Structure 1
Amino acid sequence: MIQDSVREAFAQGGVLSRAADHFRPRTGQTEMALAVARAIEQGGALVVEAGTGVGKTFSYLVPALLSGERVLLSTATKTLQDQLYGRDLPRLMEALGLPARTALLKGRGSYLCLHRMELARRDASLPDRASTRALAKIEQWAQVTRTGDLAELPGLDERSPLIPLVTSTRENCLGAQCPRWRACHVNLARKEALAADVVVVNHHLFFADLAVRESGMAELLPTVRVAIFDEAHQLNETGVQFLGTQLTTGQGLDFARDMLAAGLQLARGLVDWQQVVAVVERAARDLRLAVGRTAPGARLRWVGPAPEGVDAVAWAEALDRLRQACAQAIEALSTVSEIAPDFERLAERAQELARRAERFAGPCDPDAVRWVDAGMQLRLVQSPLDIAQAVRDKLLREDGPEASSRTWIFTSATLGDDERLSWFTQPCGLSQAEVLRVESPFDYAAQAALYVPRELPRPNDPGHSAQVAALAAEGALRLGGRTMVLTTTLRALRTIGDELQSRFSGSGELEVLVQGQWPKRRLIERFREGAANGQPGCVLVASASFWEGVDVPGEALQLVVIDKLPFPPPGDPLVEARSQRLQSQGRSPFSDYSLPEAAVALKQGAGRLIRRESDQGVLVVCDTRLATMSYGRRLTAALPPMRQLQSRSEWLEALERLAGLTRTSTTDPAVT
């Protein structure tokens, strides 16, 4: 029985004592591990919400490894993938004495493409000298790397414009016709995955394959009996990205760039490449111009023949011009198709672009929603409202005798605010799954406090963000930094960031870090350092991805300030379509959608504060609705059970206590 082995492993003095520093048995961790073991033995779907500090990674890894089954592990990000593969799995396998073979599989954009690297070397249009130097560094690394995983290359900025030139996409990969096919890092990674006992992937790769059956999972998944999804709260939003259809003007421009490079290098003089490419580029830019000026990051509704505010005739003509430009490109490419496989693949890309343009010229599919993301480029999107049907049809109802015995584990620290975890299970098609909620072992009442400042203006008042910045500045000064400000909008991010940077610029008191000024990893590293090595303490102002997955344990973070309740944006087309569907079912869009969304997001943001059993801190929610509106009780109940501060004086006392603890711990080596 797997459960007996799991119980022994988690017992006092068991094998986990050798795998984890300071390990001690936790009731919740063992409870989750036994539930996972039962699910593996019996088959079916298990959904587990495991509060921060439970230790859910070991709770699913130990029974999975002890089962001896082939296991697929899917995480939310490539960073978590690397942590699982490079740290957690090796440590556990050594402690358990298991010789399991493991493999790491990422999307093709994470791996060096040797063929495209060679094309880039001959490309005279590299962006700048820095790109030329970076390419030389990549070429040198390419001689020694075994995996080709660009994450292993130190000093390569993840935002480098060179990366698209030395990696492949599903659209531009030449497949078996590639001259470097035998040495292809993507293929070697897939072969290792097919031969491994435990394969670590990410949600994006999993759903990309579910949509197009291209990434290698089509061969891998049928051989796996246990599939585990960590950070499962991201599954629905990740899935809808891939299960719909997208067309971007950037795809057209990338296609034109690749066609020009291949034409001039491999078939110069046989086709007027400049003219053919110019037609495609003009068509892509005309599609962007058809929308006109928009606010940065605008998302346009699209319920009729054209997006909101866009002339329907001009829009239809622009889509048709793009389709015709692709048709002309296909004709030109057909005249040189036998010279190199690059031209055949380019023709296939042109056909796909034309097909998508034609699809978006027609009506939207039923049970789907369309919109346009408008920025420097356009992104046309048709998306399902959730992944429920895809999960039921493609995962839970797979054909074959092994389907009924397959085990699906879904886990995260935040999956809903009711007993059935409906926020997660309903849109993911898992309403019939077994559900388990495991509470955090932290003593939140002793470790953390919640403060809702009543004197602040309403969240939509013009002066609200400035008041949030002033409050954050006051708290950060008293704590010597150690403050993270989480915003619900990019506008608030900019306003609060500018206010704080203006307040502390040149003073040497605090360093204000704002999302976007550096890569995320560098921002987190600097924030964790805090006032170490003679540096000033830090305030970090961030939005979006910083609400989750950011781990800053210890005294580096003692104050989290959230600017307002994170309700879904009412003007968002996907939010509107989901709300309308609930209304048509006689349900309340606010109670059944907006409130659960806000509860989960608020819980994720609050989760940044207490990461270890010794952490102490204060959470400030700068939205009076949490204290004054009836639904505030439901949102507060979704938060960890922190003690509540009722006045400004109590808030200042809490800050002083935290500052006193910090001074004591930094001066007295006996305090831990």
Structure 2
Amino acid sequence: MELPELVEATFGTQGALAQSNPQFKPRPGQTTMAVAVARTLQEGGALVVEAGTGVGKTFAYLIPALLSGERVLVSTATKALQDQIYTRDLPFLRKALGISLQAALLKGRSSYLCPYRLELAESEQDTATDAEVRWVAAVRRWAATTQTGDMSEMPGYTERSPHLPLVTSTRENCLGAQCPSFSQCYVNKARKRALAADLVVINHHLFFADLQVRESGMAELLPSVRAVIIDEAHQFNETGIHFLGEQWSNSQVLDFARETLRTCNKLARGLADWPQLVFEVDQACQGWMRCVGEATNVRINWADAAPAGVDAPAWQEALTRQANALQTLHAALQDVRASAPELDRLAERCQHHWRKAQLFAGPPRLGRVRWMDIGAVTLRMIESPLDIAEDMRSHWQLAPAAQAQEAKTAEGGGAHAWIFTSATLGADAQLSHFTQACGLEQAQVLQVPSPFDFARQAMLYVPADMPQPQDAAHHGAAVAQLAAEGARRLGGRTLVLTTTLRALRLIGEALRKQLADAAALEVLVQGEQSKQRLMERFRQPSQQRGYVLVASASFWEGFDVPGDALQLVIIDKLPFPPPHDPLVQARAKRYEERGESAFAQLFVPEAAIALKQGAGRLIRTETDKGILVVCDPRIASKSYGARMLSSLPPMARARKLESFEEALRRLAAQRPSAGPDGDAAVPAVPQRSD
């Protein structure tokens, strides 16, 4: 039996999934996607699949991958999905399919304990803070029990802990095979397991990092697999442009300077005036930081010799001083690098920083866009391609069917297979916004609609009397008033998605004033607690406490609230990309130079995709019900509004306030008694609804 037929039978009423899971129900869309994936795995080439919420796309690509007998790489955008696939989905499917298959989970090196850096941290505790001493002691206790070295398995682990760099390595400071603890290296062990596995789960950051290493001539993971599956593919291009570009920051320089002083005083004391050499590097860095001024939390365009608003001669002089200080330090490191692997690595890093100083002292390279991100304490210079298309086309190795068959015959095996999937990839039938950015114009495209009955489960309400978004104060107040009314009716269960941080603060403050008399309702605002804590609280309302969450940015996607804990999603305005963002400006200029409309080809499609992502927070299971409110009159009055509306699921639509209030009343009356967290609506077995 050919792989497509085998996969189709597996998803059938008498297939392996139905036999292992009594609650399994075949989904035509899931089967269609799975068969298309199977055919691509068998024949090679590229397949791009937009699979709506509820299709079950993870099983739709994992089952063909497991049944294909090929070595397969699965890449996700988030560590959370990585862990879910490896710890939950793969064990279930291997058992259901009766397959003995070796799988491996591989993360970036900063996710693993570095035994050597743990020893260093323990040896330098006389200068450490009390918190660092306690942290290192806790890591040492856990290190005695771990098999994988994966820091996420450590009790009390938090991904943003400031102490993680004490016990983990980076590409910059890793000593590689020269490390005294190389035989104990968890990163190396994880890579060996990955190279020996049949299926490896990684993330997009690691995909591009591995790609860069491969291009330097090292044999790494990607060349060893025949099929690659990219999940959460809507983030693939944005991840890639940063890895395929150049980045440099003051924090990198200052961290390098501190480590150089510490290491050289320990291993090469008296062989050079290390304090003075490092002082010159530090002072030079402080010099170009002063050129930028006092601005914080902004992104500055950089089209000429210096960032916009920065004095060009002063900038050039400051970076030249930085390059000279690094060059002098490198000469001193050259004299001692042979005496210890740590010194050898420092010499390499010093040369790397010198090259970055040389690069950013000059104008942006042709075909690249450059900008500076200014944070509270970090200045980061970035030069990147506008998208990954040009860099990646050669890697996809796509060709017409006849050429692909010739290559397959010549190689004595299958041509490479590439599968890209996400719930949201485009605003047209060709998914051109995604395929063009990724160099996948020759890929097969498949759109699989959600199986949910949106006309029955959801309503889209566009208020007829909402102020225009340009009037930020009145518009924000109106959004807050509407959200407060909905939250009162529903006992919370309301998510307000904003397009800017300014709107986030304005609406959050207004909502708290509106609900000041509602003791049973609490307004949660992104930034006031960790994202994980906000999600946990919002998902668990009670009869005594309901929640309204006001959020932006990362909450537009990847925030999954099945059941009736979320029944009202309010989007403040159409999520057009920021017009002053340097990357957006460069992309817009490219369209205009081609004689095309940047608004029609860039701004509208990106807004439609983002709107679709935000709307996707509402209905997550077949039993969910809710209301989506778009508080932007332009979606009903402007010509491009029809494109926006067509990108959304086919919900019932309303413009009148009376219709909205009636829908709220019905939702409040129909709330299931199984519990406010909606657990009764979530399948008890892993039949995925993503």
Query: Per-residue displacement from partner, 1:399-438 (whole Å, max 9, x unpaired)?
Result: 9937971110011111111111101111111111111111
SS of residue matched to 1:529: coil
Deviation larger for 176-185 or 339-348: 339-348
Counterpart Cα distance in 2 of 1:539 and 1:373: 32
Unaligned runs of 5+ in 1: none
Amino acid at match of 1:633: A
Deviation larger for 515-524 or 366-375: 515-524
Q: Contact 2:398–2:442 (CA<8 Å) still a contact in 1?
A: no
Q: Contact 1:126–1:132 (CA<8 Å) still a contact in 2?
A: no
In the TM superposition, 1:607-622 aligns within 5 A as 607-622=616-631
Cα displacement (A) at 1:297: 2.2
Residue 300 in structure 1 maps to residue 286 in structure 2: no
Amino acid at match of 2:319: L
Q: 1:347 to 1:377 in 2, by over 3 A?
A: same
Q: Contact 1:288–1:377 (CA<8 Å) still a contact in 2?
A: no
Counterpart Cα distance in 1 of 2:679 and 2:299: 55
Unaligned runs of 5+ in 2: 400-406, 682-690
CA RMSD of aligned residues (A): 2.3
Cα displacement (A) at 1:18: 4.7
Matched residue, 2:688:
none
Q: Contact 2:233–2:421 (CA<8 Å) still a contact in 1?
A: yes
In the TM superposition, 1:571-650 aligns within 5 A as 571-650=580-659
Counterpart Cα distance in 1 of 2:679 and 2:306: 68
Q: Contact 1:123–1:261 (CA<8 Å) still a contact in 2?
A: no
Matched residue, 1:472:
483
SS of residue matched to 1:349: helix
Matched residue, 1:88:
89
Cα displacement (A) at 1:395: 3.1
In the TM superposition, 1:401-550 aligns within 5 A as 401=411, 405-463=415-473, 464-504=475-515, 508-531=519-542, 534=544, 536-550=545-559
Q: 1:257 to 1:477 in 2, by over 3 A?
A: farther
Q: 1:670 to 1:177 in 2, by over 3 A?
A: closer
Counterpart Cα distance in 2 of 1:394 and 1:72: 15
Matched residue, 1:330:
330
Amino acid at match of 1:394: H
Cα displacement (A) at 1:205: 0.7
Q: Contact 2:301–2:308 (CA<8 Å) still a contact in 1?
A: yes
Amino acid at match of 2:478: Q
Counterpart Cα distance in 2 of 1:303 and 1:101: 50
| TM-score, normalised by the number of residues in structure 1 | 0.95
Matched residue, 2:381:
380
SS of residue matched to 1:336: helix
Amino acid at match of 2:654: L
In the TM superposition, 1:48-197 aligns within 5 A as 48-124=49-125, 128-197=129-198
Matched residue, 1:249:
250
Count of aligned pairs between the two proteins: 668
Cα displacement (A) at 1:267: 3.8
Counterpart Cα distance in 2 of 1:183 and 1:352: 27
Counterpart Cα distance in 1 of 2:679 and 2:201: 41
Counterpart Cα distance in 1 of 2:581 and 2:413: 38
Q: 1:21 to 1:256 in 2, by over 3 A?
A: farther
Counterpart Cα distance in 2 of 1:276 and 1:633: 62
Deviation larger for 634-643 or 107-116: 107-116
Counterpart Cα distance in 2 of 1:20 and 1:126: 57
Counterpart Cα distance in 1 of 2:52 and 2:329: 54
Counterpart Cα distance in 1 of 2:91 and 2:674: 34
Counterpart Cα distance in 1 of 2:17 and 2:218: 32
Matched residue, 1:201:
202
Q: Contact 1:664–1:671 (CA<8 Å) still a contact in 2?
A: no
Cα displacement (A) at 1:268: 4.2
Amino acid at match of 2:426: G
| TM-score, normalised by the number of residues in structure 2 | 0.93
Counterpart Cα distance in 2 of 1:592 and 1:389: 19
Counterpart Cα distance in 1 of 2:287 and 2:412: 51
Query: Per-residue displacement from partner, 1:590-649 (whole Å, max 9, x unpaired)?
Result: 111111100100000000100000000111111111111111111011000111122111
Q: 1:22 to 1:99 in 2, by over 3 A?
A: same
Cα displacement (A) at 1:263: 2.8
Query: Per-residue displacement from partner, 1:455-511 (whole Å, max 9, x unpaired)?
Result: 222112131223222221221121111111111111212222233345556953222
Matched residue, 1:364:
364
Cα displacement (A) at 1:131: 2.9
Deviation larger for 157-166 or 604-613: 157-166
Counterpart Cα distance in 1 of 2:230 and 2:22: 25
Q: Identity percentage over the alignment?
A: 57
Q: Contact 2:635–2:645 (CA<8 Å) still a contact in 1?
A: yes
Residue 657 in structure 1 maps to residue 658 in structure 2: no
Q: 1:388 to 1:67 in 2, by over 3 A?
A: same
Counterpart Cα distance in 2 of 1:216 and 1:91: 38
Cα displacement (A) at 1:64: 0.9
